[in-house]
């Protein structure tokens, strides 16, 4: 018995969309519109200081992944599907355009919460200690 089935080449695998998603984008330009109830910045900067300019939006495939085969070289995705072009020759953001980092502010806020919690705990402990002394229970 002969094998009558023809082998067909498999389509090339699509690269995972995780490699096309921008890391920690921060807006540095004005808001030029909204997409899925999120603002679209004219320009953004990623974690590495690279500048990007708005290019459009991208759809998803049936499996829910972004259709990254439609991206051109130098394009990256910002959730929920906004596409930005890497600006040529601008590997780092100028200092005046760079947004303020949120890490120190976040650290101060967490420190303040810890300090307030500790102060409330100490105040409650002293109040209980005072009440026990007044009533000769402790």
Q: For position 21, what pLDDT does the model report? A: 84
Q: For position 56, what pLDDT does the model report? A: 92
Q: Where are the domains of the chain?
A: 17-86, 100-138
Q: For position 98, what pLDDT does the model report? A: 45
pLDDT digits (tens, 9 = 90+) for 46-67: 988 999 999 999 888 888 888 8
Q: For position 123, what pLDDT does the model report? A: 92
- Provide the phi-psi class of 56: left if phi over 0, else alpha when psi is between -120 and 50, else beta: left
Res. 13 pLDDT band, cuts 50 70 90: low
By residue count, the chain amounts to: 138
Closest CA to 76 of 3, 15, 11: 15
**Maximal C-alpha separation, the chain:** 102
Place of tokens 């200081």: 49
pTM: 0.53
Contact 26, 81 (CB under 8 A): no
Distance of CA 20 to the CA centre of its chain: 13
pLDDT digits (tens, 9 = 90+) for 70-129: 888 889 999 889 999 998 844 333 434 444 445 566 778 888 888 889 888 999 999 998
Distance of CA 25 to the CA centre of its chain: 6
More confident residue, 18 or 60: 60
């Amino acid at each position: 018995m002969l094998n009558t089935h023809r082998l067909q080449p498999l389509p090339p695998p699509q690269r995972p969309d995780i490699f096309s998603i921008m890391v920690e984008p921060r807006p540095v330009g004005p808001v030029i519109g909204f997409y899925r109830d999120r603002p679209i910045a004219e320009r953004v900067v990623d974690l590495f200081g690279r500048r990007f300019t708005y290019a459009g939006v991208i759809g998803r495939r049936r499996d829910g992944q972004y259709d990254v085969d439609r991206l051109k070289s130098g394009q990256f995705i910002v959730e929920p599907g906004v596409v930005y072009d890497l600006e040529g020759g601008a590997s780092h953001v100028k200092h005046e355009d760079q947004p303020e980092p949120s890490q120190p502010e976040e650290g101060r806020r967490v420190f303040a919460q810890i300090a307030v919690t500790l102060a409330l705990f100490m105040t409650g402990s002293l109040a209980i200690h005072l009440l026990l002394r007044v009533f000769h229970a402790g």
